[in-house]
């Protein structure tokens, strides 16, 4: 029964354009961006420690969206994205600065992720501004 519920939710979510952009493109892209690069992870940790204030939660690294428990993994990935939004946005903004020595590919990915984070998530009030 649980498997059928997950399949029906997955089918229903396919028709929601915002969900597709947020989960499939943004959350998975950020997961691979930080998972495949220890430099990006280290710089995200450094940005988080610089941006953290007393009332903020600690950094939660982006997690993989898919998996055996599709609903649970998606919820966890979105929770990590909302908690770490400020830190991720700060790090991506730093990568897009012209003064930073970053590869062209990383700069382009950071710019695209930052644009998606600001446009999609903030316009529908999913994440804090």
pLDDT along the chain (129 residues), means of 10: 79 78 85 95 95 92 81 87 94 91 92 86 50
Question: Which residues neighbour 112 within 8 Å (Cβ) at sequence distance 6 or greater?
Answer: 29
State the Cα–Cα distance between residues 53 and 96, nearest whole angstrom: 24
Sign of CA dihedral 78, 45, 50, 96: negative
Model-wide pTM > 0.75: yes
State the Cα–Cα distance between residues 107 and 127, nearest whole angstrom: 23
């Amino acid at each position: 029964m649980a498997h059928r519920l997950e399949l029906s939710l997955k089918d229903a979510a396919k028709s929601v354009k915002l969900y597709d952009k947020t989960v499939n493109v943004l959350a998975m892209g950020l997961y691979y961006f930080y998972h495949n690069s220890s430099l990006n992870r280290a710089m995200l940790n450094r940005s988080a420690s610089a941006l953290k204030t007393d009332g903020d939660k600690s950094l939660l690294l982006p997690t993989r969206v898919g998996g055996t428990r599709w609903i649970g993994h998606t919820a966890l990935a979105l929770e990590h994205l909302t908690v770490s939004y400020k830190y991720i946005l700060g790090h991506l903004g730093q990568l897009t600065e012209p003064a930073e020595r970053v590869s062209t590919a990383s700069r382009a990915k950071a710019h695209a992720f930052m644009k998606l984070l600001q446009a999609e998530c903030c316009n529908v009030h999913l994440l804090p501004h």
